[in-house]
A and B are shown apart, each in its own frame.
Chain A
Amino acid sequence: MYTTILEPKMVKDEKSTVTETPETKTKIHVENLNLFYGEKQALFDVSIDIKEKEVTALIGPSGCGKSTFLRTLNRMNDLIEGVKISGKIIIDDENIYESNDVIKLRTKVGMVFQKPNLFPMSIYDNVAYGPRMQGIKNKAILNEIVENSLRGAAIWDEVQDRLKSSALGLSGGQQQRVCIARAIAMKPDVILMDEPTSALDPISTLKIEELIAAMKKDYTIVIVTHNMQQAARVSDKTAFFLNGEIIEFDETSKIFSMPSDQRTEDYVTGRFG
């Protein structure tokens, strides 16, 4: 399974390295990011440029800091007491840790979590939740946002007849796609995904992966995954994290076929992790 999936990617990559134009805009620029949980340092001098409308995968063993890093991008780590951060994260020419408008940042940078975390409300209310909190009250506008978001998350056909029933009655995979719809409803530029399929069965996982591939044309996606095949299948670039550092960041195909660092090679070939 592993090789059959990797093969076409490698071929495609040779083309894409040729066609890649220098114009591909950097969406998120991270420079010398250090993060401490109290006294314990969790991220060490992380620097990375995440390009617009690409899928960037973050891989690495458990506890390597990939989720911590992801959560710095929409400042979700602010919720944890005792977190200190130094360095720069610039999204669209703005250092997100200098500006104090976390609300604005989080409407621009959406997030999908490891486990589906829909609220105990109807499907409709879940998707409309974000826009409503932004002050949108007009029924027609809300209806349109909800429909477009659910379509964007490839779940409209499955739920259009029961928008008013509880979201918690859906299957795990459907719930996760409604979570994606809920994120899309905010019209974000960037969507962060923290192991979005780790709680799902293979078929639901496949659907989410197809969805990610389709969403790439509209959104910049950063996805944390512990599943290397998934990284290989869905991402354009891959960053390999180890002990809070980025060991290697490159085209996904290169990371999986000829990584330049021995540790990356050991990890992707399954020698540890």
Chain B
Amino acid sequence: MRKLKDLILLGLLWFAAFLTVAVLVTIVGFIFYKGIGLISFDFIFGDYSPSGGGGIWPMVVTTIYTIVISLLIATPVGILAAVYLQEYAKQGRMVRIIRFATESLTGIPSIIYGLFGAVFFVTTLKLGMSIIAASLTLTIIILPVIIRTTEESLKTVPQSYREGSLALGTTKLQTLYKVILPSAMPGILSGIILSMGRIIGESAAIFLTAGTVAAMPESIFSSARTLTVHSYLVTQEAGDIELAAAIGIILIAIILILNFSATWISKKLNKADY
């Protein structure tokens, strides 16, 4: 009887795992099946042609711009904010309110951020529909993610490290820089990876702030189209599933490359300590 129960439970666990993997494999498989035929050097690196048959290079460049710019702003600000909240701020009402606010921010639908970005960055700050306006909007979207994950990983750094370092006559800043942040690095990095996923997956907020101009951006003040927005538009306007799937493959590739390089950097950083 007990053996049977064991067997049933094991079966359930196995089934749950199988289901998860199966869904992933089906989606990725479908995308590859539909899109792989379109993938070629010219498709990735060729310029876009409105009459069809062109490449997606302008969108790849725009996507990379938005990732890099939003991370460049959000990462330092987010880490510093988390360090302040966790290591310096007096743990009282104020900090609780800030925490509650950041937590609530993570739950807001991105289109709301998009509307805010369209009103504030595009119109009020007169940035126009541009990559920079979209990146700033994305920065606000990922900031709470980076703050939360950094705070969580700072919390996991044992108190004894802080005491041990301070007892050796170091300043709080030295302790932070040499002991606490390196120990928290893996957690902080996973927050950054998560944020990259959010940026790449974002369409509504970018649509409203960067516009849909399908051309190579001249600068970060140009209006442009990211891969995700492009994939949305080609499906919506032309119903071209093959093209959308091909773009999906490129997006998956970009995410994999970014994840691997982030993990590689974190390993390098860790090795440097030993």
Contacts and interface: CB of A to CB of B under 8 A. Distances in A.
Contact-size category for A: 20 to 34
B169 A104 contact: yes
Contacts of B182: 120
B72 to A, nearest CB: 28
Contacts of B156: none
A120 B273 CA distance: 8
Contacts of B90: 81
Interface in B145-163: 158, 160-163
Contacts of A133: 168-170, 174, 178
B23 to A, nearest CB: 37
B156 to A, nearest CB: 12
A107 B167 CA distance: 8
Nearest to B172: A79
* Chain A, interface SS category: mixed
A121 B163 CA distance: 16
B169 A111 contact: no
A186 B160 contact: no
Interface in A108-126: 110-111, 113, 115, 117-122, 125
Contacts of B165: 119, 129
Nearest to A133: B170
A105 B182 CA distance: 26
Interface in A132-166: 133-134, 164-166
B169 A165 contact: no
Contact-size category for B: 20 to 34
A134 B168 CA distance: 10
Given A103-B171, A133-B174, A122 B164 contact: no
A103 B182 CA distance: 22
Nearest to A192: B167
A93 to B, nearest CB: 20
A13 to B, nearest CB: 33
A119 B174 CA distance: 14
Interface string A151-195: 000000000000011100000000000010011001000000000
Contact of A113 (B91, B163, B183): B163
A106 B168 contact: yes
Which residue among B91, B162, B165 has the maximum number of chain A CB atoms within 10 Å of its CB?
B165
A124 to B, nearest CB: 9
Given A79-B163, A110-B167, A121 B273 contact: yes
Contacts of A107: 168-169
B164 A166 contact: no
A61 interface: no
Contacts of A110: 167-168
A107 B165 CA distance: 11
B169 A186 contact: yes
Which residue among B163, B169, B174, B274 has the maximum number of chain A CB atoms within 10 Å of its CB?
B169
A103 B168 CA distance: 8
Given A115-B160, A117-B160, A119-B179, A134 B274 contact: no
B216 interface: no
B170 A103 contact: yes
A181 to B, nearest CB: 12
A129 B162 CA distance: 13
Contacts of A225: none
Contacts of B169: 103-107, 130, 133-134, 186
A243 B163 CA distance: 25
A129 B178 contact: yes
Contacts of A134: 169
A76 B170 contact: no
Contacts of A79: 162-163, 166
Given A81-B90, A129-B165, A164-B274, A113 B174 contact: no
A74 interface: yes
A167 to B, nearest CB: 9
B166 A76 contact: yes
Nearest to A118: B164
Interface of B: 90-91, 158, 160-171, 174, 178-179, 182-183, 273-274
Given A74-B167, A106-B169, A118-B164, 19 more contacts: A76-B166, A79-B162, A79-B163, A81-B90, A81-B91, A103-B170, A106-B166, A107-B168, A107-B169, A110-B167, A113-B164, A115-B160, A119-B161, A121-B274, A122-B274, A164-B274, A166-B274, A183-B167, A186-B169
29 contacts: A76-B163, A76-B166, A76-B167, A103-B169, A103-B170, A105-B169, A106-B167, A107-B169, A111-B167, A113-B160, A113-B167, A115-B160, A117-B158, A117-B161, A117-B163, A117-B164, A118-B164, A119-B183, A120-B273, A121-B273, A125-B273, A129-B165, A130-B169, A130-B170, A133-B169, A134-B169, A164-B274, A166-B274, A186-B169
